[in-house]
Structure 1
Amino acid sequence: MTEEKNLVSDSEYLRKVLLSPVYDVAKNTDLQYMQRLSQAMGNEVWLKREDQQPVKSFKLRGAYNCISQLSDEALQKGVIAASAGNHAQGVAYSAFKKKIRATIVMPETTPDIKVEAVRSFGGDWVNIILHGTSFDAASDEAKRLAAEYGYTMIPPFDTPDVIAGQGTIARELLEQNPHLDTLFIAVGGGGLAAGIAVFIKQLKPDIKIVAVEAEDSSCFKAALVAGKPVTLPSVGIFADGVAVKTMGQETFRLCERFVDEVITVNSDEICAAIKEIFEDTRVIAEPAGALSIAGIRKYVLENNIKDQKLAGILCGANINFHTLRYVSERCELGEQKEAVFAVRIPERKGAFKEFCDILGKQAITEFNYRFSTGKTAHIFVGIKLRRGKDEYKEITDKLDQQDYKWFDMSDNEIAKLHVRYMVGGRPPSLLNERLYSFEFPEQPGALLNFLTTLGEQWNITLFHYRNHGAAEGLVLAGFDVPEAERITFSQHLEKLGYYFEDQSENPAYKFFLSDLNGVF
């Protein structure tokens, strides 16, 4: 933790926010009333439109404010940042406006669309360096270059001037709607939440502030438990704008004091929020940008909130177009308007029709089935829920009354990400199969590199890979590993350097792809 004597006081943050020159480049963005969502939620819901910034995210505020505080000597030497996302674009645009040299170090795996965006915002004032296959490698290279050439590092979140720049959003919010009851803010490294919270709580302490994190990247929640920032072993890749393993020291100090509550949302809930924002505004938010709305939906439903004034920050809209395929597939699960089931039916003529007859006029969203030579068949079925939990219970009661064996896969990530595309495939003979999910850097030739690194010592028995337009590739792979070789195999995987998880006991795998009696 920062030494006490070096801490920036609350009143100093107030001064920094009020005197920030961000409006040289940034816009005072709209606070838009979400009419459709407000009616559905039974509350007033407002959305702060940071997608209206020139770089389509709030990051411009912090980057420009930080650069503006530098001495003439530091500006002459130039600045440097490590980022593959919105911070890089904010620094690039700020450098262009300030007419100073900026170096942006990005991982080699960064999608071309993001590299081109940085180049277009920075023009001739920005030098882009692609280095390493991870953010950590890019960050280390940026630090090395800063030390060698005297560049000033512009951190993405953990420094007072960046925090104060983000805090200018709070100033606008209080001017636009000072009567808010609760404000929901996405948290990655914590710069946005810290800047807004330290400002608002000094002027309107009755406004409740709720931090919203992605379930698989909840570094603030982990820090609260530990009493200090801790490093997560891994982070999710879908909401890449908040995929931060370690929260900042200064951002944690402020958030711990001024944020009232923290909640987490999963990928399906984020997809549902992207859809909600689109339907009200016709804007397509990036996953991190939709976190606050996902938080509002979850918070209202879990706490039965009514007739309150709620606001969220649409903190960014730099979405990879290919990600929309994933969003479209998953949004109705997040809205609890769809459920997916694994069901065992008899393997005989007419059994498929009998099953559909029992469901009646239910809208089927997905149905996967393949003939089996045994006495039973396993199906993967998606069902649209127009009436939510009541309709869900009616469906499951019908299945129970007809003695169908079933289980709900709506929350099974392996089922939704991989198994739904593989239903019906079973080994012709018994194997010593072990199943693993992997993540690896996505780049040209990435799949071949992954397979080459994996090696040929063990036979691959199952493989599924689908490109989702993200920075990480996701693979589900099975291997024929005799019992006597399990330890050696585990040691081999550890040496590869890829993040992986053993999925051998996952019920979706056991039900559809492994042992016929693996679940029931």
Structure 2
Amino acid sequence: MENFAASVRQAELALRDLFEPTPLQKNDHLSAKYGAEIWLKREDLTPVRSYKLRGAFNAMRKIVATRGTGHFVCASAGNHAQGIAYACRHFGAQGTIFMPVTTPRQKIDKTRIFGGGAVEIVLTGDYFDQTLAAAQEFARQQDAIFLSPFDDPDIIEGQATVGHELLEQLGTAPDLMVIPVGGGGLSSGLARLMAERAPGTELRFSEPEGGTSLRAALQAGEPVTLPTVDNFVDGAAVARIGALPFQELSRFAPDQVLAAPEDRICRTMLDMLNVEGIVLEPAGALAIDVLDDLGDIRGKRVVCICSGGNFDFERLPEVKERAQRFAGLKRYFVLRLPQRPGALRDFLELLGPDDDISRFEYLKKSARNFGSVLIGIETSRPENMAALCDRLDAKGFGYRDITHDQILAELLI
């Protein structure tokens, strides 16, 4: 039987009909920061700006080779949809792509462009589970071929071509590889390939803190469904790791999976944008973000997989806001303000020279003599916030910091 590495090599050769290998770039900024040799595998530079095209193309080419042109169906609100659309156009195959009604127009338009006249987009369901069920039922009724984003051996094989390319480009095995995890297609493919081609390379996996489905599965010994998922990292926020990927990933320990806080990911995205001019979507920044959590990596050769760059710049204000909150440079308070002349002036006099009010909104009078005010403060250094709180305490102002109170922040901010 052909081994996995050999089949991945054949898949990688076939991919050259679509695009050249994505760059593997040594990053001087990160290398200097960590005292290591940090390389970035730039999957944000494929024709669809993510690695998902690899698996879609590989699965489709095998089906077309054996059955002829078929009718392909998928459910996706993002990168998988774009990869399927691009591959359908390449093979001249019919594609039907189901997307939630809530999908941003930008993603719908990009998918339509990549597919040309080969794909039809169906908007259905407010939630992805509804969209997925509709797509699978449609595929059954039409006798079409449903392509999962990660629970398919040919999809996994295609994603593993990332590893074949980077080993050829690097010319040697890295000491450590950091891989982002969503449903597990990329991570399981790379884990299997590296076990054959570079067994001495350590692997670490990065999941969004609000969607640690791999870690939960490793702790339970089987895939489990998370009760809630934070969808901010939309390219990797998956409630349940894929069954096929878990078969490969089950050999790893839970402490080899690192959780990346969503607000810190925002800081990483801004850092890469402002310092390096690299545009990454939240999932694309996962591997870089956990470099802080790897311990001492000085002197090591480390490869981070930058999985995608489909970032909607309309989200930039939110990303900046969350990055500031993580850095301690922006906080929100509900202030209990006395209802008397001069009370506001008394508060303003407590602000430091670098403190700035970014939000001020009366909420209600909580009592005859006091009112509640929502106030947002920005500053230049996190220690300024501690000093402000000390001054508020000394002057007897009542306040509540709601910056990290998820329920109140969603209601008020």
Question: What band does the TM-score fall into relative to the shorter chain?
Answer: 0.7 to 0.9
Point out where structure 2 has 5 or more consecutive residues left out of the alignment.
none
Cα RMSD (Å): 2.9
Counterpart for residue 64 of structure 1: 57
**SS class of match (2:203):** strand
Q: How many correspondences in the alignment?
A: 407
CA distance in 1, matches of 2:200, 2:246: 21
Alignment of structure 1 residues 25-40 onto 2, 5 Å: 25-40=18-33
What residue number does 1:14 align with?
5
What TM-score does the superposition give when structure 2 sets the normalisation length? Answer: 0.87
Choose from 177, 180, 186 the match for 1:186: 180
- With over 3 angstroms needed to count, the CA separation of the structure-2 counterparts of 1:24 and 1:306, relative to structure 1, is same
- Cα separation, 2, equivalents of 1:67 and 1:161: 9
1:352 aligns with 2:367: no
What percentage of aligned pairs have identical amino acids? 34
Which is worse superposed, 61-70 or 148-157?
Answer: 148-157
Which residue in the other structure is 1:117 paired with?
110
Corresponding residue number in structure 2 for 1:366: 358
Contact 1:270 1:334 in 2 (8 A): no
Aligned to 2:128: 135
Counterparts of 1:38 and 1:409, CA distance in 2: 36
1:270 aligns with 2:265: yes
1:272–1:333: 8 Å Cα contact kept in structure 2?
no
The residue that corresponds to 2:206 in the other structure is 212
Displacement of 1:162: 0.8
Q: 1:139 to 1:36 in 2, by over 3 A?
A: same
Shift of residue 254, structure 1, vs aligned partner: 1.4
**Residues 197 and 258, structure 1, Cα contact 8 Å, conserved in 2:** no
Residues 409-428 of structure 1 mapped to structure 2, 5 A cutoff: 409-420=402-413
SS in 2 for 1:280: helix
Answer yes or no: is the 8 Å Cα contact 1:364–1:383 preserved in 2: yes
Does 2:304 match 1:312? yes
The answer as to whether partners of 2:5 and 2:197 remain within 8 angstroms in 1 is: no
Q: Name the structure 1 match of 2:249.
A: 255
* Inter-partner Cα distance in structure 1 for 2:174 and 2:329: 29
Identify if the C-alpha distance between structure 1 residues 179 and 333 changes in structure 2 by more than 3 Å, giving closer, same or farther: farther
The CA deviation string for residues 178-229 of structure 1, in whole angstroms up to 9 with x for no partner, is 4644332221111111111222233333433222222222221221222111
1:168 to partner: Cα distance: 1.1
Farther off after superposition, 268-277 or 36-45: 36-45
Instruction: Give the match for residue 331 of structure 1.
Output: 323
Equivalent residue letter for 2:77 = A
2:173/2:198 contact within 8 Å kept? no
Confirm or deny: 8 A CA contact 1:198 1:258 kept in the other structure: no
- Following superposition, the deviation at residue 164 of structure 1 comes to 1.4
- The answer to whether residue 186 in structure 2 is matched with residue 195 in structure 1 is no
Question: Relative to 1, partners in 2 of residues 1:110 and 1:345: Cα closer, same or farther, differing over 3 Å?
Answer: closer
1:289 corresponds to:
284
Q: 1:257-282: per-residue Cα shift (whole Å, max 9, x none)?
A: 25761122233122212212211332
Partner of 1:126: 119
Structure 2 CA distance, aligned partners of 1:258 and 1:19? 27
**Residues 479-490 of structure 1: pairs in structure 2 closer than 5 A:** none
Change (3 A) 1:415 1:310: farther
Residue 54 of structure 1 pairs with residue 47 of structure 2: yes
> Paired residue for 1:231?
225
Range that drifts further, 47-56 or 410-419: 410-419
Q: Structure 2: how far apart are the matches of 1:53 and 1:219?
A: 27
Q: Which whole-Å CA distance do the structure 2 matches of 1:406 and 1:173 have between them? A: 53
1:57 is displaced (CA, Å) by: 0.8
| Bigger mean CA offset, 201-210 vs 92-101 | 201-210
Q: Which amino acid aligns with 1:238?
A: F
Instruction: Tell me how far apart the structure 2 counterparts of residues 284 and 275 of structure 1 sit (CA, whole Å).
Output: 9
Could you tell me which of 217, 221, 224 is aligned with 2:215?
221
**CA distance in 2 between partners of 1:52 and 1:270 (Å):** 20
